[in-house]
Every structure is written in structure tokens, then in C-alpha cells.
Amino acid sequence: MFHTVNSSNAMKLRRCRRLIACAALAIASGTVAVVGVATAGAKSTPLIVWYDTNRVPYVKAFQAANPHANIKWVLYNGNQNGTGVLQSKFALWNRTGWPSDAPDVMFDTQNYDAVQLGSAPYNDLLNLKNYVPKKVLNSFAGTSMKAACTTPSGQIICLRNDSAAEVLWVNPTLYKQFFGSAPVPTTWAQYLADGTALNTAHPGYLIGSVGDGFSIDDFFLWANACPLDQVIGKGKIEINPSSPNCTGIANLLDSSGDVGKSLSNNSIFSVNPQKLVMDVGALWMGTVVFQTGATTGVPNGTMVAYPAPTATNGKSTTGDLGGGLWLVSKHSRNPKAAAQFAQYMATSPVIQKVGVEAGLPQYVPDQAAYLSSLSTTFGDPSVTEATWKQAAAQVWDGWSPVPWSTDGVWASTDLANVTGGKPVAGEILPYAEALANQARLAGYTVVSPVKAVANGQ
């Protein structure tokens, strides 16, 4: 349990002299804490926690379970893509000194942030290795902790909140209507061939979208283990656009003729879910984008998740988009309580079962209870649950968290070309070059077998 003594009661406790009166007060207030955090709370400095709007259910669940915890909740934008709120605040505070209202714990929606904020020149995140038990750290799904929360030097600088692994979302009603009893595709070639069939037979129906900065790079390149973002040591990144894992999937996309047709040029957030036969997307998209979250969404209980298509190299890997992190500030005045709070938020079943929109807990012991709560949310719950669990552990860990947005680079370098009709295969090298430029801007050494990428020419 997580309990702290709030300040007014703490004062009363300090003032009371008679033993019996003290005991009575303690029982009445019900706030005498059992574990370590209590002593910290008694100092009456609240933990300052920054959270985003999607985490409101977490906050409510926490408050209901721990009504007397001494916490100051501050709503911010979750460091949303491109805004860099934490980066700018931290940079300023590193120059001017950290104020007393700086956050102790932050929820961050950007998976690449932890590595940036936890390494030079920032170095502002607490190494949780010394605060969170090893057993807990080892209970996060697959390589998720390694992928976003571990620095090359081995520090643990965040805790994963939810998995945002990529799956193949299917609308079984539409699929049956167009493809009869054929099984759901399990390879990229089959998936894209279904799209090609729709292009001519049922134009307007979709197998996904390429209209966002994250579509091709996260859901196709990353999922296919294309090594364009692979950190291979401290400050060293390998970018290999000539890998068959990159060119293979790009050529498949081009030869299918699906881009701009059954793979919509529109953002996935603005396509009509009623027209979506399939989509490769993050597991949180099931509700938010296709069902209840969209005005034209299909009814709850429609969409079913299947594993993302097998990579062209024959391995079962998948991509990822989103999923949050719990960060603890190194400048916290109460690192022990802050770390304990972050651990509680990331692992407690009290928090991690709240709201399907939040996504599958990365903390494996919480997954079963969470998944069983999905039974009425999606069609074929046993398939969907098994897929989610499997996907959370199969995210390819060669797409490393880096202090720049790979989605942003695709958006500024390649998105307009692809939606404008240029072949995807022609975008791999420019994308790799732009990524290499961003890496050099951030002080990384770029290793690449392709000369233009290695030299920046």
C-alpha cells in the first residue's frame, strides 16, 4: 500500500502528548502509514506529479485508493510529440537551479524522451536501479525496459506504463464480406495482396493508412526489423538503408499498388472506420481510433486483433507507437518516495486496470486482470487477448529510443512524397540520410555501410 501522512494530521500527531490520545487520533485519521514513504510524507513536502489528460483515470484511481497521500497533481501536455516541454524546462532549470515546484515524477508520452533526458547534457533522471527491486524490473514485458528505459551505460531511467505494440486490426464482418472464409493474412505479401484485390473490386475500402508521420516508419519499417535507428553503443548509431529488411518491405509496398488506394493517404485519425477492413496499428487504436473514440466508429465488440504480419526475414517482430513512461527527477528532494510512487503507478493493479484506452500494462503480472476486462470491448476476446500479450513481447528492440523523433523526420522528409505518389523504395535512402543528420546534430557517431549516410554527403 501507498500511504503518506498529510500535513495537518502530521502536525496534530506531533503536538499530541498523551499516548492514548495519540493512538485515538491516529486511528481516527486513518493515515498512519506502514511503509517507507510515510516518513517522507511526514516532512509535509508533497510529491509533485505531472500527468496528462489521458491519465486522469489513473489519478482518480490513485486518489480513491490513497485518499490521504500528500501529492500535488499538475496537469501538462504529456510532452506530446514536437512540444518538448520537459526538454525546455529541464534545460532552463539546469542553468538557473531547480525550483521547489519542479516535478518529482512525470508521465511522458514519448518513448524516446527518457534516454535524452537521462543522458548528457541533461542527466536529469534518477537511476531507478537503486530504488526499484530487481524482481519488479524483470517483470516488464519482453524487451520493453531495455528498449526505452535503459541507457547504454546500464542505468534504469524510467518505468514503462503501457504497451503500444503493433497488431493487425481486422473488422471480421467486412473481411468475411470481401474475402469469404480465407484466413487473416500472416505475411506482408498476403496483407498487401488483399489490399490490391480491394483496389479494383471494392475501391474506397482500406487496409490501413500511410498518411501519418508514423505510418510507414513505425508500422512497416520498424515491424520489419529495418535497421535505420539502431543504437549500438554509447553515442553510436547504425543506420543501414541497404538492408533487405528495409528494401524488401518498401518494394512490396510499391509493387502492390496499394499506397494512395487501399492504404489511404489520409491520416488514420481522419479515415472512416466503417471503410476499414484491416489496419496495422498500435493496440490502443482498437478503441480510440476504430470503435468508440471516433464519431463514425464501428460498435464496440467489432474489431479483432491478430498478430502483425511476419517480417520478410521470416521472424515474428512488430513495431510500436506510443505507450507512456514514468520518469523520476534526479533533482527530487525525496527520491525514495518519488521512485516508490512511480513504481506504484506503473505496477499496481489498482492503477493498471483503469480504462482500456490506457493500453496493455507493460508490467506482466498486471496483464491477465487487464486483459480479462477487455472481454466486452473487442470481438473474439480470446484471440485479441492472446495477440496483445504476444505483441507486447515481440516489439523489435533494434529501433532504439533516440533524442530525436523518427516519426517527425519521416513527416518532414518523406511523407509528402509518398502521399504525392512517389515510390516508397525511393524514400528509404533520403530518410536514412535525414536520420543520420539528426543523429549528428545530437552528437552521435553514425555507422553505415552506405557512404552517403555515413558521410552526410
Task: Write out the binding residues for another protein, residues 19-38 only, by CB under 8 A.
Answer: none
Reduce the DSSP state of residue 310 to 3 states and report it.
Answer: strand
Cell, residue 339: 521512485
Asked if 54 interacts with another protein (CB under 8 A), we say no
Task: Write out the binding residues for another protein, residues 255-294 only, by CB under 8 A.
Answer: 265-267, 270
Nearer to another protein, 251 or 417 (CB): 417
Nearer to another protein, 90 or 378 (CB): 90
Strands 47-51 and 71-75: parallel
Task: Write out the binding residues for another protein, residues 152-181 only, by CB under 8 A.
Answer: none
What is the C-alpha to C-alpha distance for residues 129 and 402, in angstroms, rounded to an integer?
Answer: 21
Asked if 119 interacts with another protein (CB under 8 A), we say no
Asked if 296 interacts with another protein (CB under 8 A), we say no
Asked if 88 interacts with another protein (CB under 8 A), we say yes
Asked if 409 interacts with another protein (CB under 8 A), we say yes
Give the one residue of 419, 431, 432, 446 binding another protein; rule: CB under 8 A: 419
Output the CA torsion sign for 222, 227, 233, 234: negative
Residue 206: strand pairing partners? 276
Give the one residue of 30, 441, 449, 455 binding another protein; rule: CB under 8 A: 441
Spell out the residues 6+ positions from residue 18 whose beta carbon is closer than 8 angstroms to its own.
Answer: none
Give the type of residue at 273: P
Indicate the burial class of 67 (C-beta count within 10 angstroms; 0-12, 13-18, 19 or more): exposed
Minimum CB separation of residue 86 from another protein in Å reads: 10
Count CB-CB contacts under 10 A for residue 424. Answer: 23
Nearer to another protein, 212 or 385 (CB): 212
What is the C-alpha to C-alpha distance for residues 319 and 164, in angstroms, rounded to an integer?
Answer: 9
Nearer to another protein, 95 or 134 (CB): 95
Give the one residue of 45, 186, 437, 445 binding another protein; rule: CB under 8 A: 437
Asked if 442 interacts with another protein (CB under 8 A), we say yes
Count of residues of this chain found to bind another protein when the rule CB under 8 A is applied: 39
Asked if 203 interacts with another protein (CB under 8 A), we say no
Give the one residue of 50, 122, 169, 175 binding another protein; rule: CB under 8 A: 122
Task: Write out the binding residues for another protein, residues 343-372 only, by CB under 8 A.
Answer: none
Minimum CB separation of residue 75 from another protein in Å reads: 18
Query: Of 263, 275, 259, 280, which Cα lies nearest the Cα of 187?
Result: 280
Report yes or no: 331 and 92 within 8 Å, Cβ to Cβ.
no
Minimum CB separation of residue 117 from another protein in Å reads: 9
Nearer to another protein, 79 or 317 (CB): 79
CA atoms within 13 A on the CB side of 169: 30
Report yes or no: 340 and 2 within 8 Å, Cβ to Cβ.
yes
Give the one residue of 403, 435, 444, 453 binding another protein; rule: CB under 8 A: 403
Nearer to another protein, 286 or 403 (CB): 403
The residue to which cell 557517431 is assigned: 445
Stretch that binds another protein, among 1-9, 15-23, 159-167, 412-420 (CB under 8 A): 412-420
What is the C-alpha to C-alpha distance for residues 401 and 144, in angstroms, rounded to an integer?
Answer: 11
Spell out the residues 6+ positions from residue 370 whose beta carbon is closer than 8 angstroms to its own.
Answer: 352, 353, 360, 361
Asked if 440 interacts with another protein (CB under 8 A), we say yes
What is the C-alpha to C-alpha distance for residues 280 and 268, in angstroms, rounded to an integer?
Answer: 10
Report yes or no: 273 and 296 within 8 Å, Cβ to Cβ.
yes
CA atoms within 13 A on the CB side of 386: 5
- Alpha carbon 123 to its chain's center: 22
Give the one residue of 87, 143, 196, 251 binding another protein; rule: CB under 8 A: 87
Stretch that binds another protein, among 85-93, 183-191, 291-299, 317-325 (CB under 8 A): 85-93
What would the x/- binding string for another protein be over residues 206 to 235, using CB under 8 A? -----xxxx---------------------
Asked if 411 interacts with another protein (CB under 8 A), we say yes
Minimum CB separation of residue 2 from another protein in Å reads: 33
What is the C-alpha to C-alpha distance for residues 256 and 436, in angstroms, rounded to an integer?
Answer: 29
Residues near another protein, by CB under 8 A: 81-84, 87-88, 90-92, 94-95, 121-122, 211-214, 265-267, 270, 403, 405, 407-409, 411-413, 415-417, 419-420, 437, 440-442, 456
